[in-house]
Amino acid sequence: MSDAAVAEKPESKKRSNIRPLMGNEAIARGVWEAGAKVCAAYPGTPSTEILENIARYPEQDIEVEWASNEKTALDIAMGASFAGVRAFAAMKHVGVNVASDTLMSQSYIGVNGALVMAVADDPGIHSSQNEQDTRMFAKFAGVPILEPVDAQQALDYTRLAFDISEQFDTLVIVRTTTRLSHTRSAVVTGERKEKKPKDFNDEISKNVMIPSHARLRHSHVIAREKAIGDYFDENNMAEWAKGSGKIGIITAGPASTYVHEVIPEASILTLPSSFPLTKGTIKKFMDEVDKVLVVEELEPVIEDQLKIMGYDVAGKEFFSREGEFSPETVRQGLEKSGFLKPRTGKKPIAASPIPRPPVLCAGCPHISSYMALNGINARVAGDIGCYTLAAIEPLKAIDTTVAMGSSIGNAVGMARAGTETRPIVATIGDSTFIHSGIPPLIDAVYSKANITILLLDNHITAMTGGQDHAATGISIRGKHVERINFAELIASLGVKWIREIDSYDMGKLYQTVREATLYKGVSVVISNRPCVLDPTRIRGESLKIKTENCTACQSCMNLGCPALVWDDEMYDGQHKVRIDPVACIGCSMCIQVCPTDSIRPMADFAAKGN
């Protein structure tokens, strides 16, 4: 069966089967082609588009739904595997931390129907809270990890992962990175191969992890490591580009493309996997080259294993453990190691760029929530979402941000420490609250913590581009489903003080937050307004500032709204403010903070002939 899987490359390479796909689209295609039946994921950049693209395939082929978090996604996929069908879960690297409780024991249990997990790492921290290396997790859990180099391989490896999963009774991780996930290149696609569901496997010694069973299964985990490594060898899965000289480079995943770009003359061995290693091929490679460098993004996973095996290799002394690789960083490493001579050439043209960090959108309802918290001088435990941007200028309203759902637990701890004199507030978005905000809220009630939770309900998972969740009442395929009511849910946990406020009503929001923090015990304020971007782009009539009335007090500029810019006209050394009519959506927040009442809808000016 294994050989069949490898030979089973898409039959015809007709031009009509070639299409440009992003890495994530290619993984989705691979899942569909492999005959997977059940898929689940929690959105997270850069992995989000995987499940979104799977949901484009027909409903009768494949069951798809957003899960509350990564652990439930993996649990759901694993349940489908128990039930005998091919199953799949997708997540970003930090999502593996959430799913790891299931993952570590899943490794012992193995599979019935194939089980594959795609994990998107984020070297360079483009949109994450850290840059942990999932290859370490694969080794830790004892499950194989396939590392595609480009979109074509992302599709091929994803298909193959399902076969390896069934053959070796293991979950298989397909690892992508931000760069691969979001690079579009031509991919030869195949057709879907339906898989007949297997019967439920009734072996409880395999499926029920009690100590006596787990001890036996641990041997299986260790034995399969070698078996899978041998499989990689037998199928020649490492790509060996023979070079002209005697220098060799061992690499894997997207880093391989930079190596090929910068030093095509070297012998380059691109491994299919950092765990387990293709030891046979590596030995042959080592015999043919004199000096070997390991070029791998992030941690020295391959390098460490090669050193333990007794090979004389170098890697991380020349290539950083931090950040995303690029042709330059790989070139610099190769120059430092003496593999390449330093390049000479004209210096790049220099200029003075300006900082342009991401900002909350014009009319973003999170702005008023954090203005209110600044108003009461709160100590704010933040969470993961667009609203993390309120930590920087000009709002500067967040004191801590750790991981999904940490805000409420952090706030409980701050309150119990008894040292804080300012009101303690946890801010958390609707999707993050569902992901992992409910257990710590139970803790808050249980331990009678004196905190306020500001639930920023913008009716969508906004940061990742607008995905639905259980509290939007809409499925990934756009169907209406049961909708969670936050106020009822929170009341059922024993919270006595709950208010729901329109985020755009700044006075009321401020007053409510103030009252909430004066309440002794757990209070919850639901700041309620849909996101201005998703699911529909909200646009109202643009506002305008009556320049002659503006005293340049900068009250509105402190909202951080990108529609507000400095005018060239000054008042007493400060810039008056002007509204960009293209960016403004007419949310009225600036009207509410303007002390001279100088801001009005555009139409008012026309009516008065101004």
Region near another protein per CB under 8 A, out of 61-69, 201-209, 430-438, 545-553: 545-553
Q: At its nearest, how many Å lie between another protein and the CB of residue 340?
A: 13
Q: Does 520 bind another protein (CB under 8 A)?
A: no
The nearer residue to another protein, 180 or 412, going by C-beta atoms, is 180
Region near another protein per CB under 8 A, out of 188-196, 423-431, 489-497, 571-579: 571-579
Residue with tokens 């801001």: 599
Instruction: Give the span between the Cα atoms of 62 and 74, in whole angstroms.
Output: 16
* 304 contacts 296 by C-beta, under 8 angstroms: no
Crossing angle of helices 255-262 and 327-336, rounded to 10°: 60
Q: Does 187 bind another protein (CB under 8 A)?
A: no
**Looking only at Cα atoms, what is the longest distance across the chain?**
86
Beta-carbon count within 10 A of 234 CB: 13
The nearer residue to another protein, 46 or 405, going by C-beta atoms, is 46
Q: Using CB under 8 A, which of 375, 413, 535, 601 touches another protein?
A: 375
The nearer residue to another protein, 280 or 375, going by C-beta atoms, is 375
Which amino acid is residue 88, in one-letter code? F
| Bridge partners, residue 428, by sequence | 455
Q: Does 557 bind another protein (CB under 8 A)?
A: yes
Burial of 66 (0-12, 13-18, 19+ CB in 10 A): buried
In the window 138-177, what residues touch another protein (CB under 8 A)? 150
Buried b (16+ CB within 10 A) or exposed e, 494-530: ebeebbebebbbbeebbebbeebbeeeebbbbbbbbb
Which amino acid is residue 534, in one-letter code? D
In the window 380-409, what residues touch another protein (CB under 8 A)? 386, 389, 393-394
Q: Does 538 bind another protein (CB under 8 A)?
A: no
In the window 443-482, what residues touch another protein (CB under 8 A)? 463-465
Angle made by CA atoms 480, 485, 486, in degrees to the nearest 5:
135
Q: Does 235 bind another protein (CB under 8 A)?
A: no
Region near another protein per CB under 8 A, out of 5-13, 73-81, 130-138, 561-569: 561-569
Binding residues for another protein, how many (CB under 8 A)? 74
What are the residue ranges of helices labelled H in 345-463? Answer: 366-375, 406-417, 430-436, 438-446
Q: At its nearest, how many Å lie between another protein and the CB of residue 126?
A: 5
What is the bridge-based pairing of β-strands 599-601 and 574-579?
A: unpaired
Q: At its nearest, how many Å lie between another protein and the CB of residue 20?
A: 6
Cα dist. 233→141, 174, 250, 255, 277 in Å? 22, 18, 15, 21, 9
Q: Does 359 bind another protein (CB under 8 A)?
A: yes
Q: At its nearest, how many Å lie between another protein and the CB of residue 39?
A: 21
For residue 543, give the DSSP letter. E
Q: Does 564 bind another protein (CB under 8 A)?
A: yes
Cα dist. 222→52, 143, 215, 226, 229 in Å? 35, 10, 11, 8, 12
The nearer residue to another protein, 385 or 409, going by C-beta atoms, is 385
- Binding flags for another protein, 261-300, as an x/- string (CB under 8 A): xx--------------------------------------
The nearer residue to another protein, 64 or 330, going by C-beta atoms, is 330
The nearer residue to another protein, 560 or 586, going by C-beta atoms, is 560
Q: Using CB under 8 A, which of 595, 597, 608, 609 touches another protein?
A: 595
